[in-house]
Structure 1
Amino acid sequence: MRNYFQVILSIFVLVGISVKSMAQSPTPGDVVPAPKYLLLDKGLQYRVTKAINSMYDFDFPTAERDFAVIMYQYPNHPLPDFLMALGYWWRIEVDVTNTRFDNIFIQYLERANDKAEELLDQDPTNKEAAFFLAAGYGFMGRLYSERKSWTKATFAGRNALKYMEMSRGEEEFNPELLLGDALFNYFSVWIPENYPLLRPVVALFPKGNKQLGLQQLETVASNAFYTRVEAMYFLFRLYASEEKKPYEALRISEYLHGKFPNNPYFHRSYARHLYSVGRWTESVEQSMEILNRIQNKQYGYESNSGRFAAFYIAEYHNRVGNKSEAKKYYLQTVAYGEESESQESGYYLHALIQLGKMATAEKNKPLAKKYFDTVKRYAKRKHPAHKEARDFIKKNKL
């Protein structure tokens, strides 16, 4: 979690639901009356599965052509607008600091929510409508928390929780709804463990179970039809950071990169997890491929991914004693960090520290001091990088 406000919202916000269904359909152009629960229409599976796979693989034009046909055929159903929003979410996820897709993402979610509310007005027992409202508000909450719009995020999160409860009761939706239960079970325990001041807030909710939450995420990742990829996304993040199970994180990220090789988020996560388990040469290979794709301007590959990739390559060369190559890629890490405005990130700060040490070894104290002063400027005082910079400056009289 990036900060404790987002930790609070993890309780309220049902993660966005990635819908993965739809197949042989009527002739494009025919407006088709939607069945009561479109998501459970097995006859539509193939086409939407193909479109969603294209979306996760960052082939958005192909995916959106299929989504547009569905929108034409089912103009009053929230599914196609929600799918369009999902595509924009993954554009955002690659670099969450970039806000250029925020407005269109929210517009599609609002359209999907409006259509779901109309369905619910017509039939208050419509579980699918509640399902989409839970997903739509959940995604809104995720974006608003990234943007530090706490009032909007909390409102969206509470609505997501409300509609999640309303959508219960349809047995075939259960594997999808389990994702929300899994995250609640995990974070309702994780939050008070890591943020004692928030214990009174968490005490207002039912008691969770972290291990059960992980088991439920694994169940969703293995059995769900609509939320499978999103469950995997959360699993590898939790395994990599909170659970300290790097091989489990690698297992999932390797599968996702193999399944969706052009998704830059899964690609850099795979490189990261290879690095974390000591498979450094493989991490370097993947990282070089990321840098090549940035150089070739492949869609979705940008400075944020470059910062990760350049750092792993630099660290490898530093470990094997190839200082000139290490320096080259640490400098790239810094350049990509500045381009993506990620100066407070650990990779950016650590790269500067290594460059400062190299400059000191080269007897270039003014340059070394410049690097360490930059660390002090961007790192919070309690950050380990800030302390290391202060100590090095003092010890070496920079």
Structure 2
Amino acid sequence: MNRNIFITCLVLIMQSTAFGQLFSWFGSDDEPVKELLMDRKIQIETTAAINNMYNFKFYEADREFKWLLVKYPNHPIGHFLLGLSDWWKIVPDTGIERYDKSIHGHMDETIDLAEDMLDANGGSKEAAFFIAAAYAFKGRLYAERENWVKSAWAGKQALKYLEKSRGDENINPELLFGDGLYNFYSKWIHENYKSLKPLLTFFRKGDKQLGIAQLENVSQNAFYTRMEARYFLVQIYAMEGQNRKALRMSSMMHSIYPDNSFFHRYAARSSFALGRMQESEVFARELLDNITAGKPGYGDNEGRYGAYILGFIYNNYKRDKETAKFYYQKCVEFAQSNDSEDAGYSLSSLLALGNIEMDQKNYEKAKSYFDLILDQKNRKSSSYKTAKEKSQELKKLIRKQS
């Protein structure tokens, strides 16, 4: 997490809390709103489309979501799911902006239809959940684009409607989703971003372990929010250093959704973090092969992970320095392509390239790699400190050569 972490997490929490109720009702022009959360037929019909979305079969998913627009034209469900589908199209790389207009458009339609529902149904709490969810997605996207004023405003609207939706909540695993995320992230922000402590005094205290337990409950027992809980748990486990759990979860999700690059990438990352090099090498090669094949969802982020893992393996296990340099350089190129030069794998690749060239007595070339690290803004990283020391050492060696 970075860049105005408080706002980003706030709208994230609003989004996820609302998601737990998003399927709680449907209706038509000539009948009142009908609760269908536990309707098995609707679950089966909707799950097929959602599974297609998570497996990056967006054409098939969107076709079913558009059908909801026809069947339930006065309800926000169709537009919300189409907006959610567009969001998942940028999950592998949130720097992609081509879907921004579509996401905002669908969420605006969701808000308009849900506001009509709110008026027509005497303050429908389900309608309020939809409005909160739509504003949360808008705020989250604004945060990604560093439009903090709009992000803060959307987050405020999400909070307002979230409060309207509280009460009359049936006990079911779906509703634990938002609480789980709130409990974890509010505590995590408090621990990792000391400067935001004054802002957090206005919110109830979280409990990270309770939050994880709640999300694990949802990931096993919920129907609609099960996969979203697993999406967040993969990241939470990685942040908390629980790499075995991260690998178990990401590998399972990769087997369920083999075309989802996000879970594929985390399976590679987690196996690598555990030192399972053969397994991580397979995942890494698959990532790069899928990029070469032009597979949807696979791009620079996946390339950065895959290339670094292979570079590390060739450098430290196969003792093939030239092939290691090839993959490290590919990692740097992928990072440059999506403006993530200051990411960990990119900096580590530059450090490794510098060390290899230094060992091969190519001092000027080695220094050029270390200087690239020193040009980055993150001066607190271990890579920056090491590069600074190496650069100073190289200056002496270069003077001796001349």
**Residue 42 of structure 1: CA displacement?**
3.3
Q: CA deviation at 1:154?
A: 1.8
> 2:254 & 2:300 partners in 1: Cα distance?
19
1:374 deviates by: 1.2
Selected match of 1:86 from 77, 84, 87: 84
Are 1:290 and 2:282 an aligned pair?
A: no
Name the structure 1 match of 2:153: 155
SS at match of 1:261: coil
Question: TM-score, length-normalised on structure 1?
Answer: 0.92
User: Which residue among 388, 391, 395 is the counterpart of 1:390?
Assistant: 388
Q: Which moved more, 1:34-43 or 1:332-341?
A: 34-43
| Match 1:140 to one of 120, 138, 141 | 138
What does residue 212 of structure 2 align with? 214
Query: Displacement, 1:64?
Result: 0.9
Deviation of 1:263 (Å) = 0.5
For residues 235-277 of structure 1, give each alpha carbon's deviation from its aligned partner in whole angstroms, at most 9, with x where no partner exists.
1211111x22111111211111111110111111111111111
- 1:14 is aligned to 2:14: yes
Counterparts of 1:1-398 in structure 2, within 5 Å, are 1-3=1-3, 5-11=4-10, 13-16=13-16, 17=19, 35-172=33-170, 174-241=172-239, 243-320=240-317, 321-397=319-395, 398=398
Contact 2:331/2:345, CA 8 A, preserved across alignment: yes
Deviation by residue 1:82-126 (Cα, 9 ceiling, x = unmatched): 111111111111111121111111111111111111100112331
TM-superposed deviation, 1:39: 4.2
CA contact (8 A) 1:34 1:74 kept: no
Contact 1:14 1:160 (8 Å CA) reproduced: yes
Once the two structures are TM-superposed, the CA of residue 329 in structure 1 deviates from its matched residue by 0.8
SS at the partner of 1:97? coil
Residue 33 (structure 1) shift: 5.5
Deviates more, 1:32-41 or 1:300-309: 32-41
**Displacement after TM superposition at 1:32 (Å):** 8.5
- Distance (whole Å) between structure 2 residues aligned to residue 177 and residue 149 of structure 1: 30
- Contact 2:22-2:130 within 8 A present in 1 as well: no
d(CA) in 2 for partners of 1:249, 1:170: 35
Moved more, 12-21 or 164-173: 12-21
- The worse-fitting range, judged by mean Cα deviation, of 281-290 and 230-239 is 230-239
CA distance in 1, matches of 2:364, 2:30: 71
RMSD after superposition: 2.3
Distance 1:105 1:317, change over 3 A: same
Among all aligned residue pairs of Structure 1 and Structure 2, give the percentage whose two residues are the same amino acid. 41
Contact 1:20/1:48 (<8 A) preserved: no
- Could you tell me the TM-score, scaled by structure 2's length? 0.91
Q: CA deviation at 1:20?
A: 8.8
What number of residue pairs does the alignment pair up? Answer: 390
How far apart, CA to CA, are the structure 1 residues paired with 2:36 and 2:129?
A: 12
Q: Could you list the runs of 5+ residues in structure 2 that have no partner in the other structure?
A: none
CA separation in 1, counterparts of 2:253 and 2:77? 24
Task: Find the aligned partners of 2:153 and 2:242 in 1 and give their Cα distance.
Answer: 34
- Given that residues 176 and 226 in structure 1 are in contact (C-alpha distance below 8 angstroms), is that contact kept between their aligned partners in structure 2? yes
3-state SS of the aligned residue for 1:51? helix
Residue 354 (structure 1) shift:
0.8
Contact 1:379 1:386 in 2 (8 A): no
Query: Structure 2 CA distance, aligned partners of 1:195 and 1:206?
Result: 17
Verify the 8 A CA contact 1:287 1:309 in the aligned structure 2.
yes
Q: Distance in 1 between matches of 2:254 and 2:29?
A: 37
Alignment CA distance shift 1:114-1:184 (3 Å) = same
1:372–1:389 CA contact under 8 A, matched in 2: yes
Conserved in 2, the CA contact under 8 Å of 1:89 and 1:105?
yes
Alignment CA distance shift 1:226-1:184 (3 Å): same
- The farther-off stretch of 292-301 and 189-198 is 189-198
User: In structure 2, do the counterparts of structure 1 residues 372 and 61 end up closer, same or farther at CA, with 3 Å as the change threshold?
Assistant: same
Deviation at 1:18, TM superposition (A): 7.6
**1:378 is paired with a residue of what secondary structure?**
coil
Q: CA deviation at 1:38?
A: 4.8
Query: What letter corresponds to residue 254 of structure 1 in structure 2?
Result: S
